[in-house]
Structures are given as structure tokens and as C-alpha cells.
């Protein structure tokens, strides 16, 4: 029996409840975002959040409310995808997204600065963005592990984000050749534990099936404990994963 066949309906439901259902395509439209929301089957479970470009935040808030799904958070991205926008522009975009109703901001850290040996610039982006977010809006910081590559750089970027005030640290934008990996996830979750702060983890990009997601749940539980693996501390960022969740549920 293959790994794909071994996953259960319970696994699928759990993965869905931890999911940030994501659409970050250059050709996204209001119609395509609504179609994404239409694909959610509340009879199975609701995702933790939807993640869209800033121009669709207000639309998602209205559509989720119309469906009675206010518990589903709306996340959006800033400094995306390359992490190279001027800080003032990033902060203005963050404020506008919050004004439009965003519950969570997924900020791309200036990860190339970490590679270049400059930790101060990434720290400033995270710290300043968290000031704009305040206590009510969660800040999820993308460190782009596929570019950082080396465990020591992944650890350093994680530490910078955590110490600068991130509420979550997130692997990837999904826009580079290597996105979430278990090896990177292990480094990041271990840094969360070592720093001792209430910071969550998000695996984004490359998790396309329930079977691929389950090892991340096991890893997180092994490091942080079973109770830690809940939507306030653990997320998957995914687009096609919902298709597999539905297939697993349909198979019983």
C-alpha cells in the first residue's frame, strides 16, 4: 500500500483545518477568487484562512461573511515575492490591507540581505511591520528557505523574525524553485522552541497532498507537542492541496 493510500479522512480534515487556502497568481480576478471560495466544502471543514493579493482582501471579507464563514481569516502578502520593495511602500501596503479587513499579513523578509550578511535590514522590516499590525493582526514572516538553503542561514533568518516580533515564521513564497521542505521546517520549529516565544510555523509551497502534509504534523508534534499543532500555531499554505483533501474524504 502506498503512502498516498494510507492517509485517513481524519488526516485530510485536520490538514484542511490548518490550511491557508491560497491564490497568488498573476492572472487572479474577482471571479477566480470567488471560484476558489466556492470550492470550499463546509461539510468537510473550513480552512483556517484564505491568502490572496491585497486587492482581493475586501472581496474575501465580504464573500466569507455572506457565507457565514467569518471564522475563516483573510491573509494577504506584502513585499511579495522578492522581498525588495522600499520599507515605506511595504508599510503603506500593510496599513491599506488592514484597513480593507486583513486579519493576517504574510511579509516577505528581505532574505537576500540575510545571505549578504546584513541582519539589521530584515529585522527593521519585520519590527516596523509588526508595529503597523499591532496586537489584533498576525504577522507571518516569509524567510524563503529555498534561497537561504543552508541550515545556519535558515536558523538566523528565523531568529531575526522571531526576535523582531513575528507571530509566525513561514518557509516560502511558493515562487522559487525550492519551497517547503521537512529539513527547513525542522530548523525553523526548533528555533521557535529554543527562542521560547509564542510563534507559529507555516509550511508554504510544495505541499500538494495530504500524504505530503502529514509528516509536517508529526515533525511539529515531536518538537513542540501535540497540543501545539493547531491553527493558531501551525498552518499550511497551499492551493492544490484542497483537491487532494476532497479526494481522500470521498474515498472514506
Say whether 61 is catalytic. no
pLDDT in tens, 42-69: 999 999 999 999 999 999 999 999 999 9
pLDDT of residue 3: 42
The band of 106, judged by pLDDT with boundaries at 50, 70 and 90, is: very high
Of the residues 20, 103, 202, 244, which is catalytic? 202
pLDDT > 90 fraction of the chain, expressed in percent and rounded: 97
The band of 4, judged by pLDDT with boundaries at 50, 70 and 90, is: very low
194: which DSSP letter?
Answer: H
Annotated domain spans of the chain: 3-251
C-alpha closest to that of 223 among 191, 179, 177: 191
Of the residues 20, 73, 103, 106, which is catalytic? 106
pLDDT in tens, 13-33: 999 999 999 999 999 999 999
Say whether 202 is catalytic. yes
Phi, psi (deg, nearest 5) at residue 217:
-65, -40
Helices 182-195 and 210-224 pack at an angle, to 10 degrees, of 30
CA atoms within 13 A on the CB side of 197: 19
pLDDT in tens, 112-154: 999 999 999 999 999 999 999 999 999 999 999 999 999 999 9
At residue 68, the 3 state secondary structure works out as coil
pLDDT of residue 6: 86
pLDDT of residue 203: 98
pLDDT of residue 252: 84
pTM, full prediction: 0.97
Query: Domain 3-251 is of which CATH architecture?
Result: Alpha-Beta Barrel (3.20)
Q: Can you tell me the distance from the alpha carbon of 86 to that of 83, in angstroms, rounded to the nearest whole number?
A: 9
pLDDT in tens, 151-210: 999 999 999 999 999 999 999 999 999 999 999 999 999 999 999 999 999 999 999 999
Of the residues 20, 61, 170, 244, which is catalytic? 170
If residue 142 lies in a helix (H) or strand (E), which one and from where to where?
strand 138-142
pLDDT in tens, 208-242: 999 999 999 999 999 999 999 999 999 999 999 99
Q: Looking at residues 106-111, what average pLDDT do you find?
A: 98
C-alpha closest to that of 49 among 81, 27, 71: 71
Amino acid at each position: 500500500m502506498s503512502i498516498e493510500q494510507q492517509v485517513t479522512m481524519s488526516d485530510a480534515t485536520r490538514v484542511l483545518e490548518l490550511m491557508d487556502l491560497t491564490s497568488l497568481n498573476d492572472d487572479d480576478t474577482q471571479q477566480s477568487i470567488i471560484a476558489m471560495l466556492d470550492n470550499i466544502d463546509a461539510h468537510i471543514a473550513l480552512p483556517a484562512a484564505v491568502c490572496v493579493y491585497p486587492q482581493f482582501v475586501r472581496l474575501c471579507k465580504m464573500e466569507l461573511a455572506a457565507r457565514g464563514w467569518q471564522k475563516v481569516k483573510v491573509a494577504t502578502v506584502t513585499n511579495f515575492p522578492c522581498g525588495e520593495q522600499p520599507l515605506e511602500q511595504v508599510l503603506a501596503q500593510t496599513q491599506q490591507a488592514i484597513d480593507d479587513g486583513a486579519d493576517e499579513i504574510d511579509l516577505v523578509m528581505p532574505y537576500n540581505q540575510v545571505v549578504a550578511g546584513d541582519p539589521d535590514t530584515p529585522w527593521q522590516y519585520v519590527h516596523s511591520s509588526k508595529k503597523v499590525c499591532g496586537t489584533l493582526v498576525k504577522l507571518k514572516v516569509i524567510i524563503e528557505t529555498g534561497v537561504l538553503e543552508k541550515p545556519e542561514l535558515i536558523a538566523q533568518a528565523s531568529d531575526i523574525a522571531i526576535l523582531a516580533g513575528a507571530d509566525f515564521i513561514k518557509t516560502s513564497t511558493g515562487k522559487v524553485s525550492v519551497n517547503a521542505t521537512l529539513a527547513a521546517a525542522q530548523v525553523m520549529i526548533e528555533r521557535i522552541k529554543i527562542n521560547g516565544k509564542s510563534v507559529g510555523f507555516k509550511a508554504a509551497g510544495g505541499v500538494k497532498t495530504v500524504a505530503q502534509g502529514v509528516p509536517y504534523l508529526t515533525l511539529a508534534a515531536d518538537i513542540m507537542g501535540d497540543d501545539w499543532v493547531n491553527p493558531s500555531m501551525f498552518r499550511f499554505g497551499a492551493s492544490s492541496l484542497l483537491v487532494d483533501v476532497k479526494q481522500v474524504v470521498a474515498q472514506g
